[in-house]
Structure 1
Amino acid sequence: MTNLAPRTEPNVPDATMALATAAAERGRKPRSPWRMMLPTMTPWLAFGLVLVGGIALFGIIGPLLVQDPTTIRDSGLQPPSAEHILGTTQTGQDVFAQLAFATAGSLQIGLIVGVLATILSAFFGILGAYIGGFADEAFSLFSNVFLVIPGLPLVIVISGFVPQAQRGLWTIAVVLAITGWAASSRVLRAQTLSIRNRDYVAASRVAGERAGRVIAVEILPNLLPVLASQFVFAVIAAILGEAGLSFLGLGASNSSTLGTMLFYAQNGFALSLGAWWWFVPPGLIIALFGMGLSLINFSIDEIINPKLKNVRLHRKRARVAARLERSRVTRERKAAA
């Protein structure tokens, strides 16, 4: 008996999409759980890593290769030349040497503040949410107090009360860390409250595991992408905050940072004198380092929010499907010709 049902042709775009998906996933090995917590390599992530790695390498190796940045010469405000790559300041100091030491100082402050702020936010956010009860309410109240206080005015007030002789690198780092952990603590608290009610955490508590081990083994690994994102954000905020304080004259008095370079360039009337080589390099280093960390943070956000990764993968598969469709149309035209 003849089948009179109409025949349906396969949907070409859907079939092409399936082929593209299979071609993209063919030969891939299952990724380990630790690899799943790492961001997927993308051009933006690679560009961010190159920027951050290059500036960090310059801050680490640069001070070992340049001359003394405090040496005063007779050649003041000289433009870039073979002798001085980035010219000299008003007192004849080499700008490139100052830039190397200033980059190292800003990186140290960013690293110290990132570590301290992450520890504080993890303590008040994760520990309080896991314990619950009065401890959670007390920690939340303490976090909210720091959250509603404007950050930059508080930093300016605290730095203003610290004597200039005691206003060193560690002092500025501690001040920035104390005023910059509250927002991250709220995020970690919300994530911990969600993880605390899951079955494997409840099984560990029923089995009699200590609270410290449950947090370290069951909860903390799930929060590593969030902690990494908060750490990167804290480093960016610390470098920008230190630059703002130093530009106002409230920075570290005995340390060289990118903010102090901008401060001395302002006091030396570099802008009005046209000495762009004095203030542009430190500002450019701050901008490029912040952009690199932001690109890295965007890639970490894909781990925290899988929807962002799915959107990117969908666009990638759509591009592969479009290329396959164009190649199929080209082959058909050549065959018809």
Structure 2
Amino acid sequence: MADEDIRESLIAVQATGAGTADAVAIDESTAVTAPDRASRFIRAVRFVRRSPKFALGAGIVLAIVLFAIFGPMLTQNPKFSGNEALQPPSTDHWLGTTGLGYDMLAQLAYGARGSLIIGVVVAAIAVSLSVLFGVVGGYLGGWTDEILSLITNIMLVIPGLPLIIVISGYMDGRTVWFVAFVLGLTAWAGSAVVLRLQARSLRNRDYVAAARVSGEKAFRIVFVEIMPNLLPLFAAQFLFAMVFAILGEAGLSYLGLGATGSITWGTILNDAQVGMALTRDAWWWFVPPGVLIALVGGGLSLINFSIDEIINPKLRAAPAAVKSVRKARKTVLKDDHAGTAGTTVKVDA
């Protein structure tokens, strides 16, 4: 109905013979401008700078990314065996060696690069599919939305982990890219449902209706008018998909279904399992990759929590509300204590 009202206003102006200036004035008075995205971005940047969750999570993730970039340059060949199998941490090998004599620090550095690559690729695939099935379908509506929504619901019903295990089990030569592709196919459906609901809400906004009336193509409206308002959701989905991918790859590799011929944190855990590191008390073989997986998952989750506070104003105001409640409680307790003390003094007198 908003499209018809705007179109009728423009036709009425032209029918009455009004000038171009009058038409422009009426158009400007009826059209609603898009939200000030620049000011919202500045507010978001100021908030994340004040958020201890974001600072801690970003620091952890940045340290691991730097380790993945520069670590392989500063360590030896991760497949070099110097006849020093299963040595504990020492000055020669800071994190010890594996059962085959590989340096654990070099293994972790190259494994960090492989695990992060899988995480980024899976997140990119998940975001792209959620945009296609969620945002595009939610904006277009009709039979297109029905078909895309049906596919999304089917992917939601199918259990993700068994599907990944079945697909990976039928492939002999599994590369890092294949593992990332399989994980990406199962990481998008839930976010697509959320994005579809948001897109259906945004397509009824006045500035989107004005863009349709002015003759803008659906492709441009989706990517210029709607998607910028969904950037916080995209960021949250990207981080969640990275955590899912790194944990999923570690689980697949631990079961022997991970990437063959590549080094990731998951393949290191699989080698430790096959080499019976636990029974041989070789804690340095399986503890470091497990700690790094937990750190990167925790860091990304902290960043995701801070983004949730940006998206949800109630979460943003929660800390201030808690402080107000605590302050009021202290004031009440202080007043009660003062009243009790005054009563005691009066009785003694």
- The offset of 1:316, in angstroms, is 5.1
Asked if residue 239 in structure 1 is aligned to residue 239 in structure 2, the reply is: no
1:1-337 maps to which residues of 2 (within 5 A)?
Answer: 32-38=39-45, 39-40=47-48, 41-162=50-171, 164-165=172-173, 167-315=174-322
Q: Tell me which amino acid in the other structure corresponds to 1:89.
A: T
Distance 1:298 1:159 in 2: 32
Name the amino acid aligned to 2:53. W
**Matches of 1:90 and 1:213 in 2, distance apart?**
56
What secondary structure is seen at the aligned counterpart in 1 of 2:100? coil
Q: Which runs of 5+ in 2 are unaligned?
A: 1-37, 333-349
- 1:273 is paired with a residue whose SS is coil
Moved more, 196-205 or 106-115: 196-205
Q: Which range is displaced more, 123-132 or 308-317?
A: 308-317
1:203-242 deviation digits (Å, cap 9, x = unpaired): 1111211111111121111100001000000000000010
CA drift at 1:277:
0.4
C-alpha separation in 1, matches of 2:95 and 2:272: 14
Q: Distance in 1 between matches of 2:201 and 2:318?
A: 24
* Larger-gyration structure (1/2): 2
Higher relative contact order (CA 8 A, sep 6+): 1
Determine the C-alpha separation between the residues in 1 that align with 2:316 and 2:327: 17
SS in 1 for 2:102: coil
What is aligned with 2:17?
Answer: none
Contact 1:196 1:202 in 2 (8 A): yes
Residues 162-206 of structure 1: per-residue CA shift (max 9 Å, x gap): 2x22x1011010011011111111111011111111111111111
* Structure 1 residue aligned with 2:34: none
Give the structure-2-normalised TM-score: 0.80
Q: What one-letter code is carried by the residue in structure 1 that aligns with 2:218? A: A
Contact preservation (8 Å) 1:37, 1:225: no
- TM-score, length basis structure 1: 0.83
- Tell me how many residue pairs correspond in the alignment: 294
45 and 318 in structure 1: CA distance in 2 versus 1, 3 angstrom threshold: farther
SS of the residue corresponding to residue 278 of structure 2 reads helix
Note the alpha carbon deviations across 1:124-151, whole angstroms, 9 max, x for none: 1000010000000000000111110000
| RMSD of Structure 2 on Structure 1 (CA) | 1.9
Structure 1 CA distance for aligned equivalents of residues 330 and 210 of structure 2:
50
SS of 1:272's partner is coil
Distance 2:40 2:294 in 1: 34
- Percent identity over paired residues: 55
Partner deviation per Cα, 1:288-307 (whole Å, 9 max, x = no partner): 10000000000000122111
**Partner secondary structure for residue 224 of structure 1:** helix
Judging changes above 3 Å, is the alpha-carbon distance between structure 1 residues 323 and 217 closer, same or farther for their aligned structure 2 residues? farther
SS at match of 2:279: helix
